[in-house]
Amino acid sequence: MWRRTLLASRNLKATPVNVVVRKVSNAQQQYTTLENASEVKHHENLSKDWWNVNGPMAALHALNAIRVPFIRDGIISRGRVEAPYINTTNVLCKQQLLEVGCGGGILSEQLARLGATVIGLDPGEELIKAARKHLSDHSPELCARVEYKMESIAQHANSNCEHYDAVIVSEVLEHVDDKTALLEACVRTLKPGGSIFITTLNKTLPMWMGGVVLGEYLLNIAPIGTHHWNKLISPLDVQRILDTMDCHTVLINGSTYDFWSNTWRWINSSQMCYALQAVKQRISY
Amino acid sequence: MLILLRTQSEVRLRTVTRLLAAQLVAQPKQAFSTTTSEHYDIIIGGGGLVGTTLAAAVAKNKTLADKKVLLLEGAPEFKGFDGKGPYHNRVSAINSNSIQLFKAIDAWSHIEASRYKPVKQMQVWESNSDALIQFQHENFANGVACIIENDLILDAVYARVKEACNVKVLNRARIESVRLPQDSGCSNSEVTLQDGRQFTCELLVGADGANSVVRKQMGVDVFSLNYERMGLVATLELSDDAGDNAVAWQRFLPTGPVALLPLSEKESSLVWSTTVSHAKELQAMPPEQFVEVLNEAFCRQYPRVDLADKAVQALNAFFGHTSAQHHRQYPPRVCNVKERSRATFPLGFLHASSYVCRGAALVGDAAHRVHPLAGQGVNLGFSDVRYLVESLASGAYAGFKLGDKQHLVKYEQKCLTKNVPIMIGVHGLHTLYSTDFSPVVLLRSLGLQLTQNLPPIKNLFMKQAMG
């Protein structure tokens, strides 16, 4: 159990973290990265390996096997997919998706392959470059439907109010200080009735002991300071924040990572990691 | 923002120049491949039973309905099947799992409308002791398998393939060479035919038999054994005492098993595994002599291991059976062998260490080959087809590329879980029954008799073997 926790967090630390969010406290609308420069650099250094399925991003590639169906079925379950498209590889056509913190585009490309139009945001220049290069080299057929932008979500939200059918914040939240600001901007871009999908680590003792204490301080698997207790967030807190924005949580699934087989699976408990879907309510006057 | 835009366009410009440079360097080859190679989503190498069924199953699947499939077959166009003509000598014992697959792809009605023989019971016995086992469903309610001619199966699945608008069949197409993403660094697999035509695809499926070209290119380790045995097949005519001829018979002789598979009330198919020289001899014999030798093989008394006989009797007594209750049936007498129906083929064991890599997967004999003694070979191939189509559909529905190893690995896991125990079992039986060393005879006789007497164990074996 501990080793699994530890491995899960080791692999999770290397996620698209460099989300630029608005500092709510700053009245002058100044944008700043919440990650320090070395953290951005760290992930940019990984950009060359981002698409190596056996490299440091292996766990993130493996996560696609459960997060893509989670997002796909979440969108279907809200009745937003016409019946003839269900069970076809064009199931997400006509869906406008936004991925916040897309990194090298592992998730964006795969969602686009189901017919969706995807905008990926990430502040890491090297990552955006890697994402664009992979797209044009390996998936040219998706070029028309995928666009990567080096832009902050707050900026993006200003010009894309109520534009998206779904917003995806996958393995990002645990690296962001001001989660409320991030989520607020995300929800702003959502059409009423659209869904926000979040995957992240839970704020629990097993997760913290395994991921932070063992993984970082005792075994040095991850550099000290990659994860902080106060940056982790429980599903209940996410739910509470989203509730204040008229976003009702409809689904929370617990998941865990088996390092020996590099696979993720759903479990009955959200103690380790979790995936959450919330739906933006239509405002009725 | 402006700065951002400028950097972006700079990046684009740089990429364009780099691409142009790369194209200039690789121009002769690029020009060649772009003018001649045709792209498909899935290319199936090998249009045998398993490859063609795979093409039909992909075409039938709703999720994979928009995938373009190319089926490459080395032989000329399939001539079709005549349900009125004489029986073919190549037949398969099809289990219920495979029948379900045929039903799912709408090929079963085609087979049903022609001719096939359900087997109600199987009897397996040996030559060095009294041990015997009989397989049947309770009250013979269901058949344990169906004996179907290979050409009829092929005819049925070809009919489905021809209906499908997304499958193209290319005959006389022999694969000269294969390039996989792991060698070329491209995202597609490339196939070159002997006549120079080139194709690219996301997923290349090797259904090209035990000497698979695709497997060789995948670079997987192969565990293989040559049994130094040959299988002899023939179509036989039975004498009038055959009854409804619904029993499959198999006797383990010291040289290998000999089996009679019912085709109709008056005809059966023979599969006789024996030493290479004996097989050649049998093939060359005049028909009358061959029939005599064959009839003798089923009832001839071999040197017996008394201890094993006694142990079997004791065991039966322990379970409250007298030997009278346990009466052995004998197969019907063979009275003739159809002209030119005798053919031989080599027997061996083969298992690929891996069934998949990026851009390629193996099915059927390309991945595994077993002794025909349990009639498992082609059924394992059909179960591969089921698993592969399931995995491809769920992978494609989750946005994976068809050649992505991540979901192909799931296909491999399912196959290995199913195939390996069966293959070990079949190989084990072959080894166990290729000796007349007394202690082994004793143990195998006890094992067989114990299985016969313990229905739960017997049912377990039946479930494994019959799908």
To the question of pTM greater than 0.90 for the whole model, the response is: no
> For chain B, which domains are there?
39-465 (3.50.50.60)
In the DSSP assignment, the letter for residue A122 is -
- In whole angstroms, give the CA distance from residue A117 to residue A67: 17
A285 in a domain, yes or no? no
Please state the φ and ψ torsions of residue B189, each to the nearest 5 degrees. Answer: -90, 150
- Give the model's pLDDT for residue A146: 96
> With bands split at pLDDT 50, 70 and 90, how would you rate the model's confidence at A21?
very low
Q: Which residues in A lie closer than 8 A to residue B4 (C-beta atoms)?
A: 150-151
Q: Which residues in B lie closer than 8 A to residue A109 (C-beta atoms)?
A: 399
- Give the model's pLDDT for residue B111: 94
What crossing angle do the helices spanning B27-36 and B2-25 adopt, rounded to 10°?
90
In the DSSP assignment, the letter for residue B106 is T
- Give the model's pLDDT for residue A156: 93
Q: Which residues in A lie closer than 8 A to residue B406 (C-beta atoms)?
A: 53, 61-62, 64-65
For residues A40 and A284, the model is more confident at A40
Number of separate domains in chain A:
1
Q: Which residues in B lie closer than 8 A to residue A60 (C-beta atoms)?
A: none
- Give the model's pLDDT for residue A270: 92
Given the cut 0.85, state whether the ipTM is greater than it: no
Token code pair at residue A275: 């995936």
- In whole angstroms, give the CA distance from residue B145 to residue B382: 14
Q: Is A91 exposed, middle or buried (0-12, 13-18, 19+ CB in 10 A)?
A: buried
Q: How many residues does chain A have?
A: 285
Give the domain extent around A235.
Answer: 4-16+29-280
Taking residues A220-240, report their average pLDDT: 80
| Record: contact A113-B401, CB cut-off 8 A | yes
> Mean pLDDT of all residues in chain A?
83
| Record: contact B62-A88, CB cut-off 8 A | yes
A23 in a domain, yes or no? no
- Give the model's pLDDT for residue B24: 42
A84 in a domain, yes or no? yes
Which residues share a beta bridge with A258? A263
Q: A29 touching B, CB under 8 A?
A: no
Distance in Å, alpha carbon of B238 to nearest chain A alpha carbon: 51
Instruction: Find, in chain A, the residue whose alpha carbon is nearest to that of B187.
Output: A138
Q: A136 touching B, CB under 8 A?
A: yes
- Give the model's pLDDT for residue A5: 42
Check pLDDT > 80 for residue A224: no
- Nearest to A12, CA basis, from A216, A276, A187, A242: A216
Those residues of chain B that have pLDDT short of 70 are 1-36, 139-141, 321-327, 467
- In whole angstroms, give the CA distance from residue B228 to residue B233: 17
Distance in Å, alpha carbon of B48 to nearest chain A alpha carbon: 28
Least confident of A36-40, A267-271, B406-410: A36-40
A119 in a domain, yes or no? yes
Instruction: Find, in chain A, the residue whose alpha carbon is nearest to that of B3.
Output: A150
Q: Which residues in B lie closer than 8 A to residue A90 (C-beta atoms)?
A: 66
Distance in Å, alpha carbon of A138 to nearest chain B alpha carbon: 6
SS3 sequence of A48-100: HHCCCCCCCCHHHHHHHHHHHHHHHHHHHHCCCCCHHHCCCCCCCCCCEEEEE
- Give the model's pLDDT for residue B258: 93
Instruction: Find, in chain A, the residue whose alpha carbon is nearest to that of B19.
Output: A137
A22 in a domain, yes or no? no
Distance in Å, alpha carbon of A161 to nearest chain B alpha carbon: 19
- Give the model's pLDDT for residue B29: 41
In the DSSP assignment, the letter for residue B245 is -
Helices (H), ranges, chain A: 2-13, 37-45, 58-77, 106-112, 125-138, 153-159, 179-189, 205-208, 235-244
- Nearest to B349, CA basis, from B427, B273, B419, B425: B427
Q: Among B7, B63, B407, whose Cβ lies nearest the Cβ of A88?
A: B63
| Record: contact B63-A90, CB cut-off 8 A | no
Token code pair at residue B93: 């014992």
Taking residues A257-266, report their average pLDDT: 85
Can you tell me which residue has the tokens 């129906």? Answer: B341
Taking residues A211-219, report their average pLDDT: 72
A185 in a domain, yes or no? yes
| Record: contact A53-B406, CB cut-off 8 A | yes
Interface of A with B in 60-99 (CB under 8 A): 61-62, 64-65, 68-69, 72, 87-91
Check pLDDT > 80 for residue A154: yes
pLDDT in tens, A127-145: 999 999 999 988 899 999 9
A130 in a domain, yes or no? yes
A198 in a domain, yes or no? yes
- For residue A173, give the CATH number of its domain: 3.40.50.150
Other C-beta atoms lying within 10 Å of the C-beta of residue A58: 17
For residues B199 and A2, the model is more confident at B199
Q: Which residues in A lie closer than 8 A to residue B7 (C-beta atoms)?
A: 125
Q: Among A65, A88, A150, whose Cβ lies nearest the Cβ of B398?
A: A65
Please state the φ and ψ torsions of residue A131, each to the nearest 5 degrees. Answer: -65, -45
- Give the model's pLDDT for residue B322: 60
User: Hey, what long-range contacts does B385-389 have (CB within 8 A, 24 or more apart)?
Assistant: B385/B50, B385/B53, B385/B54, B385/B57, B385/B101, B386/B57, B386/B97, B386/B101, B387/B411, B387/B414, B387/B415, B387/B418, B388/B54, B388/B205, B388/B361, B388/B363, B389/B54, B389/B57, B389/B58, B389/B61, B389/B64
